[in-house]
Amino acid sequence: MPKYFLIGNWKSQGSTEEIHKFLSTIIRLSLPEHVRPVLCPPFVYLDLVKKRLPIGYSLGAQTCGIETKGAFTGEITASMLQDIGCGYVLIGHAERKESLEVLEQQMERAWEANLVPIFCLGEEAPSAWYSLAKKISYLSSLPASAPFYIAYEPIWAIGGKTPPSCGYLTQAFQYLKSHLKFTQGFIYGGGVRPENLKEILDLNIFNGILIGQASFQHAIWTMLLEILEIHGKVQSKTTLR
């Protein structure tokens, strides 16, 4: 069974004490064999998380700079992230409101540093596919050898209590897949919570999920892992039949 991503984007939250508590809790949890968890803490806590990262977990950054090195006060380069232990980097989260030109440069820097980019994109309003045109044009022009994942996050659903329906997600996935054939996989984010995760998993169209602030709550993280474990066992039994 292929690995299923469980990505936690902590955004701008956390403290040394809270992170120690979170990691002390999740290190005791059972990790399903088919799940690949990736934690994306704020820059200042990357090293702390790396030193206590549970076995089977990967480290990701929430963004990266567009320069390689030099006189750029406050910038964090992709090579620095790789050096500290990151394997993945989120590119273009809607909350950052970066231009496509900047995103293209970030992708290049990530590849140069041997980081795997997770490129975020999503429509600004339901069915507003036209708002994705420029990003899709760029991504579709990349060579098949360029490693990256797509994190589909409808902007109107981020942080919301009403995520898209399963029918809408299927439609969106079909649209993206018809335009983006060379990505390594599609990850979904936007209103994901334990209550609707099973429905999303049952669609069998995504290679993972991206959770926002809620991923820093160890109780929710525990529930997500439990749901993924049950789903994996069901999938295995179905495959063996």
Active site residues: 93, 153
Q: How many whole angstroms separate alpha carbon 71 and alpha carbon 220? A: 41
Q: Which residues pair with residue 60 across a beta bridge?
A: 88
Q: What is the largest CA-CA distance in the chain?
A: 60
Tell which residue, 93, 31, 92, 90, has the closest CA to residue 60. Answer: 90
The enclosing H or E element of 187 equals: strand 186-189
Residue 7 CB neighbour total at 10 angstroms: 24
3-state secondary structure of 122: coil
Crossing angle of helices 16-26/218-240, nearest 10°?
Answer: 30
